[in-house]
Every structure is written in C-alpha cells, then in structure tokens.
C-alpha cells in the first residue's frame, strides 16, 4: 500500500465518505474505538510492507504498554489518517500532540492539589469532598474549590467540567480525579 492510498483505505474500511473524515471525532459515538484501532493497525502494517514507505512515523507503538490510551477522545479521524501518511519529524510530532494527551495519574493530581493547597500529599484527606478544598491563595474562601476545579480541568481535562459545578461539589476528590485520569 502506498501512502497516497491511506485516506481512501481508511474511509473505505470505516464506511465513511473520504470527504467526511474531518467531520468524525473519536468520541462522537459513530465509530467503535477498538474497531478503529484494528483498522489503523492493519493499514499501518500494509504501509510497512511497502518498501517505498521508508521512515514511517511510529505512532501508537508496541514499545508502549498501552499506546492507544494516549489517544485524545476529541481527536479527529483526519488527523489520525495524516499520522499514517507522514514521515517522522517535526510535523508528525505536532500532529501526534494534537491526537494524543499525556497520561494523567492519581499521584500527579494529588501532588497538584497539595501544591495548590500549600501542603504535602501526606497531609491531604483522601476522603475529602471537592467542596472541602480551600486554597490559601484565595484566603481559604469557601468557593475556592471551584477555582481549583477550573484550573485542573483546563490543565488536565477539556475545560467544561465547571459547567457541572453543583454536581461536582459534593463528590469525593478521588472521584473528581477520575474525570482526568486515563482509563
């Protein structure tokens, strides 16, 4: 398979018109992610078999224990297809950054919370409610938990979690962190 055939092959295997690849996102529910992964892997294998396709970008590499867990849910299919067509280099790295996100772990989030609360992680209550987050920066204002949620969601999420503030206020911090950690 030649690189120029990637867009056609991907759209054919997924049953999508080639011109509509840019309109499909991973999280819009029209594509089953494990099926997409198998299609992507199959196309990648066929590309590797063609000797003219040297210096391929090694995205979603087997060297990682869970490469597809880095995939950003709002990633578009067009960008994924572009990854298959690029040589490794700066452009491929930019597209990779648009399609993926770093893994966020509970320990990173607890450390972030501790820094914002100006304390250490061992002094944090693992059972505390989100509403109990009081930031010294705000003079321990009773609504400073919302500031923390907005900061963290802009850094680790998609920036929309604050719209559900009333619902989030009464959950445990560990459950809040589950919104941002990779599955």
pLDDT in tens, 8-37: 999 999 999 888 888 998 888 888 888 998
Share of the chain above pLDDT 90, in %: 42
Q: Which two tokens stand for residue 31?
A: 């594509």
Q: Is 90 exceeded by the pLDDT of residue 71?
A: no
8 A C-beta contact, residue 83 and residue 57: yes
Give residue-wise pLDDT tens across range 73-127. 888 899 988 888 887 788 888 988 888 888 889 999 999 999 999 999 999 999 9
Burial pattern 58-89, b for ≥16 Cβ within 10 A else e, equals ebbeeeeeeeeebbbeebbbbbbbbbbbbeee
- Are 24 and 31 within 8 A, CB to CB? yes
Dihedral of the CA atoms 80, 86, 91, 96 (nearest 10)? 30
What does the pLDDT average to over 1-7? 85
Residue 182: the pLDDT is 63
Residue 118 and residue 136 in contact, taking contact as beta carbons nearer than 8 Å: yes
Q: What confidence score (pLDDT) does residue 183 get?
A: 56
Choice between 139 and 86, residue whose per-residue pLDDT is larger: 139
**Beta bridge partner(s), residue 129:** 172
């Amino acid at each position: 398979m030649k690189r120029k055939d990637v867009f056609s092959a991907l759209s054919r295997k997924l049953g999508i018109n080639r011109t509509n690849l840019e309109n499909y996102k991973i999280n819009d529910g029209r594509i089953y992610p494990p099926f997409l992964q198998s299609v992507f892997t199959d196309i990648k294998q066929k590309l590797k078999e063609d000797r003219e396709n040297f210096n391929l970008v090694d995205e979603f590499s087997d060297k990682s224990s869970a490469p597809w867990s880095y995939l950003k849910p709002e990633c578009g299919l067009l960008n994924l297809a572009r990854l298959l067509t690029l040589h490794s280099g700066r452009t491929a790295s930019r597209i990779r950054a648009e399609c993926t996100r770093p893994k966020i772990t509970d320990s990173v989030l607890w450390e972030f919370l501790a820094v914002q609360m100006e304390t250490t992680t061992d002094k944090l209550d693992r059972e505390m409610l989100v509403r109990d987050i009081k930031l010294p920066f705000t003079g321990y204002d009773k609504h400073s938990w919302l500031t923390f949620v907005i900061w963290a969601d802009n850094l680790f999420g998609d920036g929309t979690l604050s719209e559900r503030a009333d619902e989030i206020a009464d959950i445990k911090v560990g459950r809040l962190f589950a919104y941002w950690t990779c599955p």
